[in-house]
Amino acid sequence: MVPPDLGGYFIAIIATLAVLVKTFFLMQKKLALFTKRTENIGHKLLREKIEDYIIIAYTIYVLRED
């Protein structure tokens, strides 16, 4: 009885692990980009809300002086 060629299995296992690791890091990168994009949208909405409050406050200030 001849033992099976383990070299081919070893190479297949290493290749599979390499693909899994690459996929994991790619998913991490996409998640980081999504999180950053979401934070940017949140900051933009907050900035717009603050600008609206400043405009309202300035309008009230100007109308009060008249």
Over residues 3-56, the pLDDT tens digits come to: 566 667 777 888 888 888 888 888 888 888 777 777 777 777 777 777 788 777
| Structure token pair of residue 46 | 């907050």
Split into its structural domains, the chain has a count of: 1
CA-based radius of gyration for the chain = 29
Quick one: pLDDT at residue 48? Answer: 78
Quick one: pLDDT at residue 59? Answer: 78
| Buried residues in 17-44 as b, exposed as e (16+ CB within 10 A) | eeeeeeeeeeeeeeeeeeeeeeeeeeee
Q: Is 4 helix (H, G, I), strand (E, B) or coil?
A: coil
Check whether 61 has a pLDDT greater than 60.
yes
Q: How far apart are the first and last CA of the chain?
A: 104
**Which residue would you say has higher pLDDT here, 66 or 42?**
42
Within-domain flag for 13 = no
Quick one: pLDDT at residue 4? Answer: 63
Within-domain flag for 39 = yes
Check whether 60 has a pLDDT greater than 70.
yes
Within-domain flag for 8 = no
Note down the domain range covering 47: 27-66
